A and B are shown apart, each in its own frame.
Chain A
């Protein structure tokens, strides 16, 4: 993975925290990153060249008017005053190459002097524990302790993802793979696919989590249970959670300070408007 800053030195400036999405159900993480970039007014610093992310381009996603600013699959935004760098990923990873991508990202982040990585992702609400239904949609895992608990997240009222079982076979395999060669299917025991044990460790956020952990970075995954459909409300929820985390703010104190700026591309994110002749 190579960072290219147009006319620059190819390095991040004053970066201590890296925020990035993991491709997930509902694209909730990517939508949240777009919302944060749009609202915080961070500027594009450059591009990431990464062979394992599929190519994809489009017109300016943020607006207010689309003036032809070319957007590519992996871009880096900087908020120098806050020491925050943001990676936006607009295309999927090549199937079977997720761990390679995660490792490349982790190595790059470590080389750039990043101290903490925040990964945002959606999770399938069908996998949510029944006894959690009354709790917040937001859950987390962190490298702050071996069991994934983090006092800073607990203080915000988030629950640690119950299915994070660092000693289970699939999570161990992921950890092992993040320091060695990429995992291949036949390394998993035959039963692992037929249970839910491999579901969470098999998701992209888990690969990034393990790879960054292997590079000695602090990682927090901000996860939101959602169903695929209109995931705009989930994006607001995740973006708000990231803001709370970054500013050590309690949920009840949030919202009033930040007025979200909806990106221009969201006006058509779920397809074209219906044909008006249908209603005449």
Chain B
């Protein structure tokens, strides 16, 4: 049976449930009113948003630290909006766009926003993931979706080492039927391991709506060792989805991310 968290480390007790989680009479966060997230668009998007929704060929959503650094280093992008979650404080954010800000940026790389990139850099609780997902897909209705997530060690039933980068893929049925003759960009996420939170909410929405979507789950998220694996998979998937695009240069983004990382590491010893 579940017990108290460890008083020193605050680690959860060795149980899958807290007794309160199973108590229907308990008052949960559901009963607390949450302000719905909303999108603030850049003035330049007014013309494209005349129909009320954006319909890009590709929507790339990043919810990982590695993904945020990649998107911020992507050349030629511009900010087209931001998804505001009123309950998330933006205190201590830098004025300039940064992968370290607790914010959610929407980028585009061309004038007609045929590819929309979303970098969600704040933490979205599992309870609010579906609400956030609905906000995204209400405003943006893409032909294809690519999600960058990170493996949570507590839900992964395999070995994780900080030294060994890992990349796995999960696809919706629609995407899978299209990719059946293609070589997989990464091994499938192991059976028995789970993905929760906003990455799960996003791909669940796509699966239920019969949309083509792919989820790349990477490890680790605290350093950039998975960058090469991730960029190789992203590049392949984008090439398959939109073969003639040259606006998305993730190789340059990778090099810039690696370079900045080396610089910041070396600054430690100055």
Please report which residues of chain B, range 128-143, place their CB below 8 angstroms from some CB of chain A when the two chains form the complex.
129-130, 133
Interface presence of B270 (CB below 8 A) = no
Q: Which of A183-200 contact B (CB under 8 A)?
A: 183-185, 188, 193, 198
Q: On chain A, which size bracket covers the interface?
A: 35 or more
How far apart sit A165 and B73, CA to CA, in the bound complex (Å)?
63
Interface residues of B in 5-61 (CB under 8 A from A): 15-17, 20-31
Q: Are B157 and A204 in contact (CB under 8 A)?
A: no
Q: Are A94 and B24 in contact (CB under 8 A)?
A: no
Q: What CA separation (Å) do A51 and B134 show in the bound complex?
A: 11
Closest to A208 in B: B24
Interchain nearest-CB distance for B138 vs A (Å): 14
B169 within 8 A of A: yes
Let me know if B196 is at the binding interface, CB within 8 A: yes
Q: Please choose the segment from B78-86, B97-105, B183-191 that sits at the chain A interface, where 4 or more of its residues have CB less than 8 A away.
A: B183-191
Instruction: Classify the interface of chain B: helix, strand, loop or mixed.
Output: mixed
Contact B1 A126 (CB under 8 A): yes
Of B111-119, B207-215, B252-260, the stretch lying at the interface with chain A is: B207-215
Q: Which of B2, B126, B171, B210 contacts A55 (CB 8 A)?
A: B126
A interface, over-half SS: loop
A233 sits at the interface (CB 8 A): no
Which residue in chain B gives the minimum CB-CB distance to A44? B173
Using a Cβ–Cβ cut-off of 8 Å, how many residues does chain B contribute to the interface with A?
Answer: 52
With A57-B215, A95-B20 as given contacts, are A66 and B190 in contact (CB-CB < 8 Å)? yes
B interface residues (Cβ-Cβ under 8 A, vs A)? 1-2, 15-17, 20-31, 126-127, 129-130, 133, 157-159, 169-173, 176, 184, 188-201, 203-204, 207-208, 210, 215
Q: 9 tightest A-B contacts by CB? A: A96-B28, A95-B28, A268-B157, A66-B191, A55-B201, A268-B192, A265-B192, A55-B200, A98-B24
A69-B173, A202-B23, A267-B191 given; name 6 further pairs at CB < 8 Å: A47-B208, A54-B129, A58-B170, A68-B176, A202-B26, A268-B192
Give 18 A-B contacts (CB < 8 Å), ordered by A residue: A47-B207, A47-B208, A51-B130, A55-B196, A56-B196, A58-B193, A59-B188, A66-B191, A95-B28, A185-B25, A203-B22, A204-B22, A228-B1, A269-B192, A271-B157, A272-B157, A272-B158, A272-B159
